[in-house]
């Protein structure tokens, strides 16, 4: 039987190509939480699995007519012998139980035993350039491969910054996506946001003023790449 990581990748590939997904859904429900934990024993493995599951499940639910807030809050995703929500994947597992509404500065106070068992050991802000919410301003959906996960996340980060961030020299202003505001703490605050842009865009932006661009929530099915 294929590993959970391979199943997650196949789930995303099938849903993106609009092929039947009944068998892969059944395969993802096989096994137990303990078996999943045994396979996802490193942060790299957790990232590869849960990013693909998040994006595949989001597309799956959206195409079956599930909308906000249920699509994020309800435990509608069956994995092994439990069910989980998109919010639990993003804010519990991938962000290591951080609050959804604190700009990334506060922890969740009662994340639950299962989330603690599944969560990454260290937060990686690059996930914000990998998770798709169906809006025009969201990062594109890609399939993430365990063997290339670090390289792929670096590429997603660079691509997002080069596309969505703007340097306005006349105003000494750095205009960035509102993702950087909503998860400011994940990026090390305003100084960390400027540090990241300086590194990726290869120019000194530490003295520039930050401006957060309006987020385009236009629904889109364009998930190419």
Residue 147 to residues 1, 17, 48, 56, 106, Cα–Cα distance (Å):
19, 23, 9, 19, 32
pTM value > 0.85: yes
pLDDT by residue (tens digit) across 21-52? 999 999 999 999 999 999 999 999 999 999 99
Could you give the count of Cα atoms lying within 13 Å of 30 in the half-sphere of its Cβ?
A: 11
Q: What is the reported pLDDT for 95?
A: 98
Asked if 157 and 201 count as a contact pair (C-beta separation under 8 A), the reply is: no
Closest by CA to 120, choosing from 44, 56, 6, 184, is 44
**At 220, is the pLDDT very low, low, confident or very high (cuts 50, 70, 90)?**
confident
1 — pLDDT class (breaks 50, 70, 90): low
Tens-place pLDDT, residues 113-141: 999 999 999 999 999 999 999 899 999 99
CA distance 165 to 174: 7
pLDDT in tens, 99-115: 999 999 999 999 999 99
CA atoms within 13 A on the CB side of 157: 20
Which single residue is written with the structure tokens 């603690």? Answer: 116
């Amino acid at each position: 039987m294929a590993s959970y990581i391979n199943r997650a990748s196949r789930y995303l590939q099938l849903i993106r190509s609009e092929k039947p997904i009944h068998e892969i859904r059944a395969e993802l429900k096989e096994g137990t939480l303990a078996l999943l934990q045994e396979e996802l024993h490193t942060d790299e493995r957790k990232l590869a699995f849960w990013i693909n599951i998040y994006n595949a499940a989001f597309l799956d639910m959206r195409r079956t007519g599930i909308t906000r807030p249920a699509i994020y809050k309800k435990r509608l995703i069956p994995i092994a012998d439990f069910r989980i929500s998109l919010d639990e994947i993003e804010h519990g597992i991938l962000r290591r139980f951080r609050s959804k509404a604190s700009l990334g500065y506060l922890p969740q106070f009662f994340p639950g035993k299962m989330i603690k068992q599944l969560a990454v050991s260290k937060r990686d802000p690059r996930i914000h350039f990998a998770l798709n919410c169906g809006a025009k301003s969201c990062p594109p959906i890609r399939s993430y491969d365990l063997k290339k996960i670090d390289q792929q996340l670096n590429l997603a980060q660079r691509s997002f910054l080069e596309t969505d961030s703007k340097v306005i020299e006349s105003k000494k202003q750095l205009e960035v996506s509102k993702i950087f505001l909503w998860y400011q703490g994940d990026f090390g605050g305003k100084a960390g946001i400027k540090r990241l842009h300086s590194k990726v865009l290869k120019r000194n932006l530490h003295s520039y003023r930050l401006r957060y661009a309006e987020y385009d929530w236009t629904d889109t099915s364009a998930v190419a790449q």
